[in-house]
Amino acid sequence: MRSAELMKIALKAGEIMLRSGAEIYRVEETIVRICESYRVRCESFVLPTGIFISLVDDEGGTNTAFMRIRDRKVDLSGIDRVNSLSRRIRKSCPDFDTVRKELEQIENAEKHSFPVRLSATGLGSFAFTLLFQGSIYDSLVALVIGCVSYSAREVLTGKSLFSFLENLLAGLVTGLLSTAAVGLFPVLDGYKIIVGSIIMYLPGVSITNSIKDALYGDLVASMARLGEAILLVTVLSAGVGIALLISAYRR
């Protein structure tokens, strides 16, 4: 019974971290740390899409569990809170009910609202366009286009469609609006507007984590994450390319 309860807690902790975009080695370390804090031997094997845990109970029996992970995002706060909880467990070994309730609080914590995310996307597009030496007018247009493309992307996200289609739509909307803006105001630099608007969608965290996973020896997870990131960038670029082709054809 004790082993089964601990298995559920370790799986939930790993699930939250993996769904939040944590590195593979960090998820495995957290799972093992929690189990060993209660003096239970544990082996964990984590992939970007699944968690395997095997516990050895007091009688020498082995309990194994698997959890499939289908959706992932970037939530650094969730990663930090679960990681901090695992370290507190090592120090004080609280009862299972206390740990379970805190994990539920972390999982159900209020996320940033849509207006906040939309504002961050717009301001990010504005700042990156300036960084790439765009004019203030380019940056203002990028701010608007970034907000519109993000809103369109959120519509697809709400319909639970796969992320590749979301990125394709974001690139397509960005390209179409940028070329339309340049057509109306020739003084604008369309390429800088496009770059500033789409850079927010680039999977920088996934690429960074894939490199870190490779350095820690998790080669399978590293290649999976890197391949996914490359596909996302390719689809995003394809959306922009389609928009540019449409604009060139209409001319």
The helix/strand/coil state of 63 is strand
- 159 and 89 together in one domain: no
- 95 and 118 together in one domain: no
Give the pLDDT confidence of 58-101 residue by residue, as tens digits.
676 788 889 898 888 888 888 999 999 999 998 888 888 889 99
Question: 26 or 163: whose pLDDT is higher?
Answer: 26
Angstrom distance (rounded) from CA 123 to CA 116: 11
Provide the pLDDT confidence category of residue 163 given band limits of 50, 70 and 90. Answer: confident
pLDDT surpasses 80 at 157? no
Domain end (from 107, 128, 146): 107
For the stretch 159-188, what's the b/e string if a residue is b when 16 or more beta carbons lie within 10 angstroms of its beta carbon?
eeeebeebbbbbbbbbbbbbbebbeeeeeb
- 13 and 58 together in one domain: yes
- 177 and 55 together in one domain: no
Residue 144 pLDDT: 94
pLDDT surpasses 70 at 160? no
- 60 and 132 together in one domain: no
| Average pLDDT value for residue range 104-122 | 88
Q: Which among 75, 111, 81 has a CA at the least distance from the CA of 99?
A: 81
Displacement of CA 92 from its chain's centroid (Å): 31
- 60 and 145 together in one domain: no
- 246 and 175 together in one domain: yes
Angstrom distance (rounded) from CA 78 to CA 66: 21
* DSSP letter assigned to residue 113: P
- Burial grade of 249 (CB within 10 A; 0-12, 13-18, 19 or more): exposed
Provide the pLDDT confidence category of residue 31 given band limits of 50, 70 and 90. Answer: very high
Provide the pLDDT confidence category of residue 17 given band limits of 50, 70 and 90. Answer: very high
* DSSP letter assigned to residue 99: H
- 241 and 122 together in one domain: yes
- Burial grade of 245 (CB within 10 A; 0-12, 13-18, 19 or more): exposed
Residue 136 pLDDT: 93
Share of the chain above pLDDT 70, in %: 97
Provide the pLDDT confidence category of residue 251 given band limits of 50, 70 and 90. Answer: low
Give the pLDDT confidence of 205-219 residue by residue, as tens digits.
888 888 888 888 888
Q: Which among 182, 191, 180, 175 has a CA at the least distance from the CA of 243?
A: 175
Instruction: Give the DSSP letter string of 155-203.
Output: HHHHTT--HHHHHHHHHHHHHHHHHHHHHH-TTS-HHHHHHHHHGGGS-
pLDDT surpasses 70 at 22? yes
Angstrom distance (rounded) from CA 61 to CA 41: 11
Residue 124 pLDDT: 93
Distances (CA, A) of 205 to 81, 152, 156, 238, 246: 18, 22, 22, 21, 32
pLDDT surpasses 60 at 1? no
- 133 and 96 together in one domain: no
**Mean of pLDDT over the chain:** 88
48-62, 122-136, 162-176, 237-251, range with greatest mean pLDDT:
122-136
Print the domain residue range for 176.
Answer: 114-250
pLDDT surpasses 60 at 162? yes
pLDDT surpasses 90 at 190? no
pLDDT surpasses 90 at 13? yes
Domain end (from 74, 107, 140): 107
Instruction: Give pTM, 2 decimals.
Output: 0.82
Residue 4 pLDDT: 80
Tell me the two tokens of residue 55: 């516990």
Angstrom distance (rounded) from CA 220 to CA 226: 10
- 196 and 136 together in one domain: yes
Token look-up 């960090």 returns 26
Tell me the two tokens of residue 201: 């969608």
In the chain, how many domains are there?
2
- 150 and 229 together in one domain: yes
- 67 and 89 together in one domain: yes
Domain end (from 107, 135, 161): 107
